[in-house]
Structure 1
């Protein structure tokens, strides 16, 4: 269905409305059929289990359920250990922020699309739900100054359509390193080292030029899809690659806003997608499974 929706752009304008209605009808019918089939299978499995049990004593105490960490929490804790070993401090930051820290302090002008209501959840008194963990950069710079190594994980919110690889609520981990003579080569080496530690193996990555107002130059770091081995699947939109991490050299305007001497210091920043990283690490094909509430599904993951 997702592929059919993507193909709508190739349909004649006069036929798009009818084609869209047909696809939505198909989507509804498929969802209903899958739900009914799933319910029937669960009922059949329960009936088979009851028949298989020769004796059942309802007075016996139930077995205690052993709790487990959410897979995103497992990935976050593992990353925190890796970054701590590299000398990074771990910071927390609120989910409700103001316009200055989320946009202005990051060199994002007022006309930038990120400020549009289609992308950002605005609330009362000019505040908003943070759209990225970069909102903490200015606060962290002013708190510690330079030199600085810090990460700040958190939950972010964007008004996006939900599909197999996008959610409107997701987790990121921002990282910044500021010191004398920091360059792009430091950024590339650092990212490769970090990812090899996370996945316990060599992974293929690629850097694509990307525009982000708070870094210059900016890059998109993609990872070869570990779910399909780069062959193409719904998680990577059949491209073989999954966008994982925007990164780049921190823009001088952002450093100045954070009180950093740009004549002496440079730095890099990156924004890891914890949700997508967990998908790759645990082979989860649909990002929506993380918020599905199925304890049976979520409790199967363990850290290495």
Structure 2
């Protein structure tokens, strides 16, 4: 048995010192010192030896076990240090190499336009209010003077979740909620995402963005609406751009007007971009309908106000000369890098 222990000592020591990696070293530890290892079995079976051999074998076995544990620990540390050096060698930075430019991101063009519009209205004393995208039918239609039987419902095919719940088709519900919850005077804009059932093409998307605005106070008139919108349009498109108001119809405003800006490409002379009219439509507006004020708990004999709404994609298309609305949603890095 003594010769066997000596043989194991020589073999195990050599194998441990020649272990190429930590995985191989662990296999050797299990082979000799594991639960069923060679040294462990000898120590476990000492009771089967003659009484006079037990103390000798026990002493030699424990001594061998301790030695192997030390040899394995030393080799383990050597392998760790070697692995560390190898890793550092691979990760070494060559300071003589040409530097690599970081690819920094930027805000999406739609976010940039929303931020620009918001900054303009903040400068005019407006606050920013948000509301739910999953909206009640009442706030999306009925409270805006669009009852279930109103023909204007045909203008906006909607994504209904239930009979009374839908994805909002505009951010106007935010205006209604604000009138219900806020004391006059009110001066807010409501940017956000909206949804309508549209086929995807160069000019339409079932998901797009709006910025709508509302101002309610005593003695608010259409001239206030014109003054603010002309200021905003010139801030967005330049002081040299002309602004035109055209009579229109919206169920929630009366009187109502579409707002056009002179075409930047032709200077108002007429071209293919503006369909030879010299004008580009950018938003709708009007004085808040008395019925809408009443349904929101306001007295139309005491207060008045105006509302407006603009499509963010429409503004971005006109500002940057983009020809296809789908570009905003395709995540093409070549397109986004331009902004």
Cα distance change on mapping 1:187 and 1:94 into 2, 3 Å: same
Between 113-122 and 141-150, the greater mean CA deviation after superposition: 113-122
Alpha-carbon spacing, 1:119–1:62, altered in 2? closer, same or farther (3 Å): farther
Q: Structure 2 vs 1, CA of residues 265 and 188 (structure 1 numbering), >3 Å: closer, same or farther?
A: same
**1:232, CA displacement in angstroms?**
3.0
1:294 & 1:201 partners in 2: Cα distance? 33
SS in 2 for 1:73: helix
CA 1:114–1:263: 2 relative to 1, 3 Å: closer
The match for 2:287 among 236, 249, 252 is 249
Give the corresponding residue for 1:168: 206
Offset of 1:241 from its aligned partner? 3.0
Q: What is the rounded CA distance, in whole Å, between the counterparts of 1:128 and 1:60 in structure 2?
A: 56
Report the equivalent of 1:89.
Answer: 127
Cα-to-partner distance string for 1:251-274 (whole Å, 9 max, x where unaligned): 011111122222211000000111
Q: Given the alignment, which residue of 268, 272, 277 partners 1:233?
A: 272
| Residues 253/227 of structure 1: CA separation in 2 closer, same or farther (3 Å cut) | same
C-alpha separation between the residues in 1 aligned to 2:170 and 2:212? 8
Specify the alignment match of 2:41 in structure 1: none
| 1:26-105 paired onto structure 2 within 5 Å | 63-105=101-143
**1:136-285 correspondence runs (5 A):** 136-227=174-265, 229-230=267-268, 231-233=270-272, 236=274, 239-285=277-323
Greater C-alpha Rg: 2
Question: Structure 1's 101 and 185: CA in aligned 2 closer, same or farther, altered over 3 A?
Answer: same
Deviation at 1:203, TM superposition (A): 1.5
Q: Number of matched residues? A: 242
Using structure 2 for the length normalisation, give the TM-score: 0.66
SS at match of 1:92: coil
| Greater relative contact order (Cα < 8 A, sep 6+) | 1
Indicate the larger mover: 76-85 or 114-123: 114-123
**2:329 — aligned with what?**
291
Q: Which runs of 5+ in 1 are unaligned?
A: 1-58
Identify which range, 223-232 or 173-182, moves more after superposition: 223-232
| Residue matched to 1:8 | none
Structure 1 stretches of 4+ with a deviation exceeding 6 A read 59-62
Q: What CA RMSD, in Å, does the superposition of the two structures yield over aligned residues?
A: 2.3
Residues 240 and 151 of structure 1: CA distance in aligned 2, closer, same or farther (over 3 Å): same
State the secondary structure of the residue aligned to 1:254: helix
Shift of residue 287, structure 1, vs aligned partner: 1.8
Q: 1:187 to 1:118 in 2, by over 3 A?
A: closer
Contact 1:159 1:168 in 2 (8 A): yes
- What is the rounded CA distance, in whole Å, between the counterparts of 1:176 and 1:202 in structure 2? 26
**2:165 — aligned with what?**
127
Q: Secondary structure at the match of 2:125?
A: coil
| 1:108-151: CA deviation from partner (whole Å, max 9, x where unpaired) | 12123453497211113521111111121110111212111000
